[in-house]
Amino acid sequence: MDAPEVRYTKSGDISIAYSTVGDGPFDLVFVAGWVLSVFESAWDGPAADTLSRLASFSRLILFDKRGTGLSDRSSGIPDLETRMDDIRAVMDAVGSKRAALLGVSEGGPMTLLFAATYPDRTAAAILYGTGASFKRSEEYPWALSPEEWRAVIEGSDHFGTKEWLDETLEVFSPSIAHDEEMKRWWRRWVLASTSPGALEGAPAHEHGYRRSPRALLDQRAHPRAAPSGRFGAGRRGRE
């Protein structure tokens, strides 16, 4: 499947890149993690397999988070509420009144906050590769400490080098980390997705350890959630 046509919508003063793929019976918003784009180079490698399969049973709604990929590179670090509202702007742009949301990694807290803020527009909230918390505590000792988060941020000083790219690919996808073709694809995808400044200001680094997904649900009414199955966000959810 070829890379989809990209359109833009405004969220405040920021232009957000978005697209839809597939024509399934319900809408599914993909909320990507880290700083990776869901457009262009993403469709030249294994990421395309995942996105194509999701689009095979849904109308898949894709967007690049502000500060990454084809969306505007805003200055400073927007708060979680601002970034979460970009989902609403994209849903409005494609005429989706109600959708299932799939949040990956750092997209998990955004997904939970959207579901808690707009329960009537959320058919399901599915989380993948995220955590119950990004902040280390006595009851959640597996997360990074503030000092460890700072070390991650400082590691972005080597962004773009062969060593840095090889190391990050080994962390995220060890099964393809020694494939030279995949290394070249990973380099194209990462370098087209972000920049050193955007990476250093990545919300998962700067804000993530302060914001617990569990706390987000405690602050608002609990959203409906489903790990799998039919989401019920059919054609009636579209304008």
Instruction: Tell me the three-class secondary structure of 118-158, residue by residue.
Output: CHHHEEEEEEECCCCCCCCECCECCCCCHHHHHHHHHHHHH
Spans in the chain with pLDDT lower than 70: 75-77, 132, 152-157, 197-239
Neighbouring residues of 57: CB distance < 8 A, sequence distance ≥ 6? 22, 24, 25
pTM to 2 decimal places: 0.84
- What pLDDT is stored for residue 232 in this prediction? 41
Phi first, then psi, for residue 39 (nearest 5°) are: -120, 175
pLDDT at 131: 74
Q: Residue 226's pLDDT is what? A: 44
pLDDT, residue 218, reads: 64
Rounded Cα gap, residues 99 and 62, in angstroms: 12
Contact 173, 33 (CB under 8 A): no
Q: What was the pLDDT predicted at 228?
A: 39
- How far is Cα of residue 76 from the mean position of the Cα atoms in its chain? 19
In 28-126, which residue ranges form alpha helices assigned H by DSSP?
Answer: 46-55, 80-93, 107-117
Q: Are 159 and 135 in contact (CB under 8 A)?
A: no
- Residue 155: its pLDDT value, please? 64
Task: Determine the pLDDT at residue 96.
Answer: 98
**pLDDT tens column, 48-68:** 999 999 999 999 999 999 988
